[in-house]
Amino acid sequence: MDLRMPVCDGLQATAIMRRELEVETPIVALSADSTEDIRQRCSAAGMQSFCSKPASKQEIAQVVKKFVVR
């Protein structure tokens, strides 16, 4: 989930998905701002993981592997 989107930012979108739509799908934050404050806000909104931009294919694959059911 990109944190900076034009209509609704990723934090708001995640909170809506969790609270109102009761979506349980894992959500991973994607942002160039990787401060501890942003990471905590992402977690509080309901995101399970975080990737800093620019993220390599290996970094993204590593995060996705955490959520893939085998």
Read off the pLDDT of residues 43-52 as tens digits, 9 standing for 90 and up: 999 999 999 9
**For residue 52, which phi and psi values (nearest 5 degrees)?**
-85, 140
Integer Cα distance of 28 and 33 in angstroms: 14
pLDDT per position as a tens digit, 3-19: 999 899 999 999 999 98
Q: Which amino acid is at 69?
A: V
**For residue 30, which phi and psi values (nearest 5 degrees)?**
-135, 115
Q: What is the CATH number of domain 10-65?
A: 3.40.50.2300
pLDDT per position as a tens digit, 25-69: 999 999 999 999 999 999 999 999 999 999 999 999 999 999 987
Supply the pLDDT for residue 70.
61
